[in-house]
Every structure is written in structure tokens, then in C-alpha cells.
């Protein structure tokens, strides 16, 4: 299945080995709870992100289950320590419909 929901991963902070940097992830996902109705009263089917995983160089940093409490276009920020060699940070997610998405960014070290 193709990724119809775009997502973005950015960093705030100095990308130097050993520094703690803030990562910011946002996904353009509707996060429908299944509790709302459309204009004619039909229930809008539930479709939320059910699992997301954050990896640094392919190793799991953490995973979470956002649930129905997260709004449309979910946003997450978290800190991590920049490894000595740099690397790649990625976020992978799946929703109720089996739609998968991912985004990754190379950690470009500062001189």
C-alpha cells in the first residue's frame, strides 16, 4: 500500500556528538476516532495510528501507541543523544487500516 499520509521529521539543537537534540515528528493523518458522524449521520469509521516506532541506526529507541486521544496530524517531540558517528533517525507507523508510513533523517554532524 502506498503512503498517502505525508510525515516530516526535523531537529532542533546543535548536531554535535554527545549533545541532546530535540526531534520533532508530524504526520498528516486524520486520526478518526470512530465516534464522529458525517453530514447525514453515518458514523465515520475509526482510523488512527495504532503503533509508531522510533529507531536510531535501525535500533529501537522507543515505541508507542498513540490511541484516540491524539488529534489529527499527530505531533511528537522527544530528545535523544547524538551518537559519535552520526547516523539515521527514523519513525515508522501503522494505522487501523494497515496503512504504513515512515520518515527518516540523516544526522549530519556539525564541525
Task: Tell me the per-residue pLDDT of 2-61, one tens digit each, with 9 for 90 and over.
Answer: 458 999 999 999 999 999 999 999 999 999 999 999 999 999 999 999 999 999 999 999
Average pLDDT value for residue range 95-102: 96
All three cell numbers of 5: 499520509
pTM beyond 0.85: yes
CA atoms 30, 36, 42, 48: torsion sign: positive
Tens-digit pLDDT profile for residues 55-82? 999 999 999 999 888 999 999 999 999 9
CA atoms 94, 48, 8, 10: torsion sign: negative
Secondary structure string (H, E, C) spanning 25-73: EEECCCCECCCCECCCCCECCCECEEEEEEEECCEEEEEECCCCCCCCC
- For the chain, domains (ranges, CATH) are 7-34+46-107 (2.60.40.10)
Amino acid at each position: 500500500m502506498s503512503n498517502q499520509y505525508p510525515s516530516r521529521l526535523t531537529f532542533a539543537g546543535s548536531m554535535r556528538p554527545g549533545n541532546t537534540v530535540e526531534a520533532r515528528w508530524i504526520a498528516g493523518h486524520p486520526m478518526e476516532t470512530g465516534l464522529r458522524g458525517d453530514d447525514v449521520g453515518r458514523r465515520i469509521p475509526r482510523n488512527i495510528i495504532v503503533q509508531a516506532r522510533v529507531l536510531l541506526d535501525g535500533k529501537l529507541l522507543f515505541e508507542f501507541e498513540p490511541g484516540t486521544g491524539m488529534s489529527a496530524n499527530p505531533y511528537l517531540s522527544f530528545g535523544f543523544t547524538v551518537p559519535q558517528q552520526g547516523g539515521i533517525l527514523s519513525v515508522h507507523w501503522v494505522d487501523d487500516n494497515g496503512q504504513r508510513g515512515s520518515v527518516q533523517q540523516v544526522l549530519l554532524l556539525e564541525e
